Amino acid sequence: MGTQSEALKNIKNKIRRQKVFSQIKHDKNKERHTLRKERAKEERANPELKDKRIVENIPDTIDSKRIYDETIGTEVEGKDEFDKYFTNLGKDPKILLTTNFNARNAAYEFADILMDFLPNVTFVKRKQGYQIPDMVQFCNNREYSTIIIINEDKKKVTGLTFINLPEGPTFYFSISSVTEGKKIAGHGKAQDFLPELVLNNFNSRLGKTIGRLFQSIFPHKPELQGRQVVTLHNQRDYIFFRRHRYIFRNEEKVGLQELGPQFTLKLRRFQKGIRGDIVWEHKPDMERDKKKFYL
């Protein structure tokens, strides 16, 4: 490779240099395809060679190079603010959904999207001057378990705030890539069943806390006859929301039909109590190390 680079540098004519470079690239591609054909022929004759290659040639990814986190695999110690949900199995969550001040149509439209899959949720329009402590008192007097606030700016939904009741904690997530169900190709129509909840890859202590937050807004017993599942998949600290329905084609084949919506969350802040001391906050310099993840 070094010899070829030196040879290209010695060619002064730009057009000639480009032709030589294209020929070198063509020859490399031809050689690679020839080797692939020969390898495929050998593997057809001896399938064990293919199995060995697959085992040995595991590609490196950012996920596989993740920097070790000593909290991975550890359970939540003792009781936390969500313990009430996990110990009182006879009581389902009760959610109040609202917006920030001076919300526009985008926030109300997104509220409709959330209410399509969130169980036992009530939407209340945010009144001017109605502060978060007032909302918390209102909800605690009526036995709500969670407040969800839709944050909208410049006619665009930018985030979601979750307040666990009666005394916190508070979480703020930015939101992006929102797609309504009706805009998803081949989408199905959701029915009024409580969905099953699937949480993927919430491995660190902070990740497990976020997982418990999401668990706390869904009832303990899903209605499995509805065949609907909500998935929250964490990958590199981005949380992807998807909703599907199981399709049983026959006794052996099971498919998935997407119902929507789709959106992506990213944790920005985790606070004690009702917006109290900051426990964890995402900062711009955290993006420098691409192999460090927090959830």
Check whether residue 42 and residue 170 sit in a common domain.
no
> 75 lies in a domain?
no
Helix (H, G, I), strand (E, B) or coil at 182: helix
CB within 8 Å of 242: residues ≥ 6 apart: 230, 231, 233, 258, 262
Over the stretch 133-166, which tens digit does the pLDDT of each residue have? 999 999 999 999 999 999 999 999 999 999 999 9
Check whether residue 52 and residue 87 sit in a common domain.
no
pLDDT at 186 over 90: no
Check whether residue 124 and residue 174 sit in a common domain.
yes
Whole-number pLDDT of residue 75: 67
Which helix (H) or strand (E) is 235 found in, with range?
strand 228-235
> 73 lies in a domain?
no
> 74 lies in a domain?
no
> 49 lies in a domain?
yes
Total domains in the fold of the chain: 2
Alpha carbon distance 80, 130 (integer Å) = 29
Alpha carbon distance 140, 293 (integer Å) = 35
Report the predicted TM-score, pTM, of the whole model to 2 decimal places: 0.80
Alpha carbon distance 293, 215 (integer Å) = 22
CATH code at 254?
A: 3.40.50.10480
Nearest 5°: phi and psi at 4?
-65, -40
> 64 lies in a domain?
no
CB within 8 Å of 109: residues ≥ 6 apart: none
pLDDT at 1 over 60: no
Alpha carbon distance 37, 30 (integer Å) = 11
Over the stretch 76-104, which tens digit does the pLDDT of each residue have? 666 788 998 989 888 999 999 999 988 88
> 97 lies in a domain?
yes
Check whether residue 253 and residue 205 sit in a common domain.
yes
Check whether residue 49 and residue 87 sit in a common domain.
no
Query: Considering only CA atoms, which of 261, 266, 169 is closest in space to residue 212?
Result: 169
Check whether residue 166 and residue 276 sit in a common domain.
yes
Check whether residue 7 and residue 131 sit in a common domain.
no
Structural domain harbouring 205 = 83-287
